[in-house]
Amino acid sequence: MFLLFYGTASFRSIIYPNSKKCDVFTLFAICLWVTEAIPPFSVGILIIGFLVLIMGRHDAQNAMKYLQTWSDSVIWLFLGGFFLAEAMKKTALDTLLLKHLLPKFGTDPRYVLWGLMLITALMSMFMSNTATTAMMIATISPIFATLDKKANLSRALLLGIPAAAYIGGMGTIIGSPPNAIAFSTGLIQQSEFRLGGIVIGLLGPALSIIWGWFIIELLY
């Protein structure tokens, strides 16, 4: 991998002489990610800080046209979904919901799987499917602690919850990145999305989650 990186960097430096500086920071970032010397999420911030402090120039172009993409409405929409998921974890609202809803599905592992998939799909409609998956896996971690790592229910839950979050996220704009990106183009009106969401965004995921539960139940 190092030889491949070195070879492509050498070839690129012939065409773009200044790319060597970028290659150094790229290799530095890879080393930080691999060694986990600092938390992975802070690597990007550290690299940006280095670029500003070391390579910044007073006569540089206006950076606003490059930074405006960070304030895109789609990014803030998904950031809000992550905030909702984090708020539910901080206030233990996710655990409270599971304590009230999960007993209604009984103690049969098949229906426990169905209940968790259904709850995940519904919550994914109001938050990012990625945030919902992370929240639900963390919430049901006590279940994994009581089961063997190779237990069928453990594997079924680890497959069913991400699948349910992905399927449920198709029903709303905030639930799935493709929906938000398509809506942000302005080519789809909100009324059209609601009309299509009733047929495709709700009926489709409903049938898909039932089919997914049936397949996972057969496998595990």
Residue 85 φ/ψ, nearest 5 degrees: -65, -45
Cα gap 134→40, rounded to integer Å = 16
Mean pLDDT of 127-152: 78
Question: What confidence tens digit (pLDDT) does each residue in 28-86 have?
Answer: 888 888 887 887 778 877 877 777 766 655 555 566 666 666 667 777 777 777 788 78
Residue in 211, 209, 133, 216 with CA at minimum distance from that of residue 171: 209
Q: Which residues of 87-120 are buried (b: 16+ CB within 10 A; e: fewer)?
A: ebbeeeebeeebeeebeebeeebbebbbbbbbbb
Cα gap 177→193, rounded to integer Å = 15
Residue 135: pLDDT band with limits 50, 70, 90: confident
| Domain definitions of the chain by residue range | 2-60, 72-219
**Mean of the per-residue pLDDT values for the chain?**
74
Cα gap 73→219, rounded to integer Å = 41
pTM of the model: 0.60
